[in-house]
Each structure stands twice: as C-alpha cells, then as structure tokens.
Amino acid sequence: MVVVDLSTQPGHLARRLQQAHYLLWNTMVSEEITSPQFAVLNALVAEPGLDQRTVGERVGLDRSTIAEVISRLGRRGLLDKVRDPQDGRRFLLRLTQEGTRTHRRLTVRTARMNQVLLAPLSADEQTLFIELIRRVSDAAEELRRPMGPAGPPDPLAAAGV
C-alpha cells in the first residue's frame, strides 16, 4: 500500500491554511461577520450599487452562497437593497452607515490578522506567496465557470499546461 505524503499535497495544505485562517478570523477579526461577508462589504465599498450577481463574481461566491450572504448582511442592517431604476427586476446593493462602520473596523483587524498569518514569511516571501495563491485561485475560478457549447473547461488548459 502506498502512503501519500500529505505535506506535499496542495489540497491538504490549502485545507490546513483555511483552518488557520478561520481560527485567526474568529479570534482576531470577528465572530459575527464571516470572511465571505467581509468580502461582500469590501466589494460594496469599492463599487457601491453593484447587483447581487456582480458582487458574487467579484468575491468568488456562487449564486446560492452570495444570496445567503446578502440576506444575512441585510438582516444585520449592514446593507440595503434598492430596485434598479433601469431594470425593475434587479436590486442594487449599498452599505448602510452601520455597514460602512463595520467594514472600517474589520479592515483594521483584518490587516493585523494577515500580519500574524504571514509572519513566518519574509516580506519578499509574503509577496510571492500572495501572487502564487492568487494565480492558483484564478485558475481554479475557471473550473467553476458554466459549461459552454464546447463542454466543460479543460483543467490543464486553465492551468496553462
């Protein structure tokens, strides 16, 4: 029987990194607002008035997840939905004053948390690490895209292989 060295497996390492992030997020940033919820707040600070679908695309959340995140943020009074005057079927999202205050407070905490998370790396290694994670994440996003007429995306082509 072959034993796999999990310390060389990207999926295993990504899961461990996610666990560390989750722990740090809950202890240093917020137990009430999740990291995906913060990402939505952040997207709406950057571009107020986006619709739900666009916010989901910006932060990398699927349709059902973004719907739930938007709903929770709305119930907490952190964002408002307003009907799009150009298209009555669409709703545009804007942060409330409390949403803006919450984002500001969490931004400072998030920066501190990221310092702790990346502390084992030098400044140059941190920059490289972020760039590599971004490249892998961007390639993985392509795998989630809906199938077109040509069928499912080719994971090797998305990875540039």
Domain layout of the chain by residue ranges: 29-119, 121-161
Within 10 angstroms of residue 157's Cβ, the number of other Cβ atoms is: 10
Tens of each residue's pLDDT in the chain, 161 residues: 999 999 999 999 999 999 999 999 999 999 999 999 999 999 999 999 999 999 999 999 999 999 999 999 999 999 999 998 888 888 899 999 999 999 999 999 999 999 999 999 999 999 999 999 999 998 988 877 665 545 555 555 555 55
Q: Which of 57, 56, 59 is nearest to 67 (CA)?
A: 56
The CATH code for residues 29-119 is 1.10.10.10
String of DSSP letters for 103-132: HHHHHHHHHHHHHHHHTTS-HHHHHHHHHH
